[in-house]
Amino acid sequence: MRNNIFDLAPLHRSSIGFDRIFEMLENATRAQAVDNWPPYDTVRLSDDRYRITMAVAGFSRDELDIAVQPNLLVVTGERKEAPQEGEYLYRGIAGRAFARRFELADHVKVTGANLADGLLTIELQREIPEAMRPRRITIESQASGATLESPEQRQIEAQAA
């Protein structure tokens, strides 16, 4: 097995304020156990809208929790033990507790969640603050022959001719 290690030192030396991105890149390169339960899909609906759909069959709404922290979405599930009727001969429906984490980009907000037919659907929206949106600057021009000096300006070092 080949171990991919990226040296991010040159980026650290020449970049300021990208610490979170570098940390995400370093975490992604570490060998981690692959946990593929519960299965999920992520879909980009438009430039600023996303949807996560998780298969959580057997979990009720009360057994699921969605928590949003800065740049992190955590979905957890823990089944409450129901009274057992009979003896299991085979148990193939997974009911183990889980915690699934999703790194969110800046300004991505959870706008809603729905549980139907064993699928948990989480809607996400990127909401860029007004101060960060591009804006158009008008260009003003002076009339031809106008001087740049205003009547309030005065000459300090040399005498006027």
- Tens place of pLDDT for every residue, the chain, 161 residues? 445 566 767 766 676 777 777 777 776 666 455 667 889 999 999 989 999 999 998 899 999 999 999 888 999 999 887 767 888 888 787 778 899 989 888 889 999 999 999 999 999 999 888 877 788 888 888 876 555 555 566 666 666 55
Task: Give the side-chain half-sphere CA count within 13 A for 34.
Answer: 2
Give the Cβ contact number of residue 122 at 10 Å. 21
Decide: pTM greater than 0.85.
no
Rounded CA-CA distance 42/16 in Å is 31
Rounded CA-CA distance 73/64 in Å is 13
Task: Give the side-chain half-sphere CA count within 13 A for 126.
Answer: 13
Q: Fold for domain 34-81+92-132?
A: Immunoglobulin-like (2.60.40)
- Residue 126 burial by CB count (10 A; 0-12/13-18/19+): exposed, middle or buried? middle
The SS3 assignment for 130 reads helix
In Å, the largest CA–CA distance within the chain is 110
The SS3 assignment for 25 reads helix
- In degrees, rounded to 5, the angle at the alpha carbon of residue 21 between the alpha carbons of residues 127 and 29 is 130
Rounded CA-CA distance 58/118 in Å is 7
